Structures are given as structure tokens and as C-alpha cells.
Amino acid sequence: MNMRVLITGGAGFIGSHLCERFLAEGHTVLCLDNFLTGSDANIAHLKGQPRFQLILHNIAQPLEVGGSLAYVLHFASPASPVDYLKFPIQTLKVGSLGTLNALGIAKAKRAKFLLASTSEVYGDPQVHPQPESYWGHVNPVGPRGVYDEAKRFAEALTMAYHREHGLDTRIARIFNTYGPRMRLNDGRAVPTFIAQALRGEPLTVFGDGRQTRSFCYIDDLVEGLRRVMDAAVHEPINVGNPDERSILEIAQQVLASCNGTQSRVEFRPLPEDDPKQRRPDISKITRLTGWQPRVSLDEGLPATVAWFREHWN
């Protein structure tokens, strides 16, 4: 069955991969973005397709969409620490007003709704790995609070629309993800290290590099999100790869994936409120949908480096 799908943040890193996925499934995609952190280049190859439409709009402002919609996927937001430090109020607005508007569209169209939430709702977690039942450990007034609290509010709002209006909603808590189409300068560990290695500059590891993250390749993530959409569960579901590594290990693996680089690791101060550890408990999504990540860092990092080599000018 052909669906008409609205994807906010459709020109972003994850959003653009979702646009591709729905087009490949034969659906019609309305890609909404204001290019604050997304980019035209991410969707340029889709623009000629008859089932693809770009709506240049900030979802923090109300919007009327013509025609029917089967699904609204709300992915618009600055999502890297550097971006949400640069755009703190925009981040709060898109997580609050943007989510309100996106839910309003879904309600008007009787469409299903998927919220792109985040592992940041767990803050600097005191429970490890993080199951969905953990309420988190967030500093509301720290520099990351603008993103963490906006997404926590967005989750509360999504559940309220489900409970009060019977909207058919999903909440995916997305853990660290990497792959082609990340911005080289978005400040996140993987693209930053790759850019530095390709330029022969030092890899800037913050703190002692012993803090951990668990990185999921974009193709795995998209498949996981697709399955969450088809699982009739309204409470949050973690989507991520539980392969936990220290950031120093990630830097070393990037060096190994960039043949011939002269770069070395250099240590820099740890940013405020940087979570010390992060790993998703994915037993819920696996039990509900059978999903598990397939792409290891050994495959995903070289594929990402190859993409950056080709596109970094």
C-alpha cells in the first residue's frame, strides 16, 4: 500500500536516509526542513523523483499540509552538542513547539506519529546499560539541558496526545549513530575524528577518552526505526548498537581506517556534563521486532571514511 509520509528534518543526516527508505518502498515522501542543520545536498539526488516533495519550513511555526498523510515522522532538531550549544533556543523551540505542530498535523490527518527521541533523555546515566524504564539523570540548566529537556518534553507531549486524543504514536530513543551524510563539522566524535585524520591534524579526544559510547551504523538504525513504526507500542523504545567502546578506542579505530594518515591523538578538556558512559539495553526492540544491528564498526567506519573522502570538499 502506498503511504504518504511527512518527515520533519528530512534533509538531515537520519532524515535523508529515511526519505530514501520510504521512496524505495514505493511511498510518497514530503520532506520538511528549514536547513538550519540539514542541507540541500543531502536530498539533491531525490529532488527529481515524482514521489518526493520538499517543504521549506520551520516546524516550530504552524503549518497546513494538503491531502492525506499516513505517517508523520518528527526528526527535526539540531542534534549534535555543538549544534545545540550554538542554537539553544531553536533547539528548545523545535522540541516543544515543533513537536506540538507535528502532533497537530498527525491528529488532523489521523496519521500515525513517530517521535525521534534520544539517549540524551538518560543524561549522564547512573544505570548501565540504559533500559527504557530508567528515568534518567539530566541537568536541566546545564549546556546540554536545552536538548535533553526539549526531548523529554517532546516525549511527554507525545504520550499526552496518545492518551488524550488516542493518537497512534511511537517514541524511538536513538543512541549515537554514524555514517554517510553526517556533517564534517557537526562536532560529533566520529565525523570530527575522520575530518581530522583526513587533514592530517591531531584527533581531539576530550577528557582522558575513557568515557564510553555505543555507535550504530545508519543503515541499521533506519531498519530499527522502520520496525518500531510497525510495532504497536506507544512507550519509548531504544534503538542503537550495544557495542560499547571508549572514545579513545574510537579515535584509534578511525586512525586505523584512514590509511596513511600522519595524525595522532591529542587530549583536550572534557565538555561540561559530558556523559561518562552510554550503552542501550536493546532487549525490548529485539523482543518486539526481532531487530538487532548487523553492521560492526569494522565495516561501518571504513564505509563512512570512504564517503567522507569522496564528499569532503
User: Each residue of 140-159: b (16+ CB within 10 Å) or e?
Assistant: eeeebbbbbbbbbebbebbb
Nearer to ligand UDP, 234 or 245 (CB): 245
* Closest CB 33 distance from ligand UDP, rounded Å: 21
CA of residue 305 relative to chain centroid, distance: 19
- Catalog residues that contact ligand UDP under the rule CB under 6 A: 80-81, 176, 187-189, 192, 204-206, 211, 213, 247, 271, 274
Burial code of 16-38, b = ≥16 C-beta within 10 A, e = fewer?
bbbbbbbbeeebbbbbbbbebbb
Query: Nearest distance from residue 247's CB to ligand UDP, in Å?
Result: 4
Between 168 and 201, name the residue whose CB sits nearer to ligand UDP.
Answer: 201
The CA distance from 65 to 4, in Å, is 11
Shortest distance, CB of residue 240 to ligand UDP, whole angstroms? 11
Write down the catalytic residue from 147, 161, 178, 217.
147
Q: How far is the CB of 34 from ligand UDP (least distance, A)?
A: 22
* H/E segment holding residue 48: none
Minimum CB separation of residue 206 from ligand UDP in Å reads: 3
**Min. distance of Cβ 236 from ligand UDP in angstroms?**
18
Instruction: Measure the CA–CA gap between 248 and 265, rounded to whole angstroms.
Output: 8
What is the smallest separation between the CB atom of 242 and ligand UDP, expressed in angstroms?
15
Smaller CB distance to ligand UDP: residue 32 or 194?
A: 194
Q: Find cell 516550530 and name the residue.
A: 60
User: Exposure string (b/e) for 266-294, b if CB count within 10 Å is 16 or more?
Assistant: eeeeeeebebebbbbbbebbbeebebebe
Q: What Å distances lie between residue 298 and 127, 193, 252, 262, CA to CA? A: 28, 16, 12, 20
Please say if 71 is a catalytic residue: no
Nearer to ligand UDP, 20 or 83 (CB): 83
If the CB atoms of residues 104 and 271 are measured against ligand UDP, the closer one turns out to be 271
- Cβ neighbours of 217 (radius 10 Å): 22
Cβ(280)–Cβ(220) below 8 Å: no
Q: Phi and psi for 271 in degrees, rounded to 5? A: -65, 155
Distance CA 41, CA 152 (A): 30
What DSSP element (H or E) covers 61? none
Nearer to ligand UDP, 91 or 192 (CB): 192
Strand 216-217, strand 237-239: pairing: unpaired
If the CB atoms of residues 244 and 274 are measured against ligand UDP, the closer one turns out to be: 274
Residues carrying an active site annotation = 147
